[in-house]
Amino acid sequence: MSRSANQRSRKMLSCTAEATAYQKGFGKRLKKRVVDDREPYAIVQADVPHEIFHAMDIPIVTNQWWSAYISAKQLSGAYFDAMVAKGYPSNGCKYCSLGLACTLANDPENAPWGGLPSPAIMVARLTCDCIQNVFGMWAKELGSELFAMEAPAWEHKELDWYAHSRTEWERVYQPDRIAHMAAETQELIALLEERTGRDFDMARFVRLMERINEQEGYVWEAAQAIGKARPSPISIAEQMPNTMIPQWHRGSDWAVAHAKKFRDQVLERIERGEGASENEKIRLMWIGAGVWHDPGFYQALEDNLGAVFVWSMYMPFAGPAYLRDLKDKPLDALASRICAINEQLHLPPWMNGWMTSEAERCGIDGCVMLLPPDNRLSQSGTNLTALALEEAGVPVLKIDADMVNANIWDHDRMVAMVEGFVRERVIG
């Protein structure tokens, strides 16, 4: 059982509290639109083109955000138990199936928002064997329909793809894959217009894409500065909310302004020589999604060991994954952004090529890697990335835990495991 309920992370930036406050208010506004006002909305995976929904002002509930929301309320264990009790396997992917588990539990008294109403559409990319089943069953339970988007194979294997993705995205991501993704996006637009009665405005969409470039540019600048700074001005406990919360709202006026404020506050701390730890000695890398039910885990070793988690994928991903020169082809540029996210984060050679480069850029001393026991996509390339890091001289600790399943997490045990790793393999 988890013992993480009281393990809160320390905040050093005023914009961190502002981001969490904004997201809390957003959750209330989204609930009003979706639950109270019954606006047509969509349930979507994180790797589908959210920009289309934003441009059309269609509310979305992102599956991964919803899972983190449920997990933060300490409800994941009960809902997974309810899922198993209904005959579903106990070894399914927890991150992608927690929303389905919540619906299956049929627990309106305790569930966030009393549970989700039927959406106008559900959208997922077929990036693994299970997602079509999870979303298909979930759509059936909610009386909705799944719009499945393909995940065509990425044959162009370029280890330093991240260095060329902004300007040479047509070559890097393959014209045929981009064309296929853009065509499916146009099909999605037509379906959304039919289901919601809202029109897609290309000029509004282009403006959104331009604003996203501005937002991601600020985050990228901050990531570059943190990689060079000694000590690191903040840990990933503050990088995650200041990157991910605006990411859910990318291109909005608030998200762009917040990204700029975040960058400015990071640079101010660097200028003053302020660090996440007063005595930084060890720079750690975290590979995997965040442990949403125990945010204090990442700062547990800062005081006694000077071990600071300075890197997670969310912040530095802003540059190579999102920045795009539009080239008067905004839908194609969006398609190039969407079509390779999973490969970049989970599959060799793209994953290990980028992450070993990032370890060198940020002066990483050791890496802690999350291996969710029942998530094959998060495991498939991760072990090979661990080998690549070890070969590059970065020791790796792999931990069997889950980003949303608190049932298999124990704060004290996990902190002790990382401490032992740092003492034995990093400090030596």
- ∠ CA 252-257-262 to the nearest 5 degrees? 125
Question: What number of residues does the chain have?
Answer: 428
pLDDT tens per residue, range 165-190: 999 999 999 999 999 999 999 999 99
Most confident of 6-15, 220-229, 276-285: 220-229
Mean local confidence (pLDDT), 352-357: 96
Residue 247 has pLDDT above 50, yes or no: yes
- Give, in order, the Cα–Cα distances in Å from 393 to each of 12, 193, 228, 307: 31, 52, 19, 18
Residue 379 has pLDDT above 70, yes or no: no
Q: Is 147 exposed, middle or buried (0-12, 13-18, 19+ CB in 10 A)?
A: buried
Q: Which of 194-208, 286-300, 350-364 has the lowest mean pLDDT?
A: 286-300
pTM of the model: 0.91
Q: In 273-326, which residue ranges form alpha helices assigned H by DSSP? A: 302-305
H/E stretch holding 186: helix 175-196
The dihedral built from the CA positions of residue 296, 217, 233 and 306, taken in this order, carries a sign that is: positive
DSSP summary character for residue 231: S
Ranges of each domain in the chain: 14-427
Cα–Cα distance for residue pair 169/333, rounded to 1 Å:
8
Strand partners, 309: 284
Query: Regarding beta strands 60-62 and 42-44, do their DSSP bridges make them parallel or antiparallel, or are they unpaired?
Result: parallel
pLDDT at 404: 60
pLDDT at 414: 85
- Give, in order, the Cα–Cα distances in Å from 29 to each of 26, 32, 393: 5, 5, 48
The number of beta carbons lying within 10 Å of the beta carbon of residue 27 is 14
Q: Which of 17-31, 64-78, 411-425 has the lowest mean pLDDT?
A: 64-78
Q: Average pLDDT of the chain? A: 91
Residues 370/399, Cβ–Cβ less than 8 Å = yes
Residue 5 has pLDDT above 50, yes or no: no
Cα–Cα distance for residue pair 280/266, rounded to 1 Å:
17
pLDDT at 6: 41
pLDDT at 4: 42
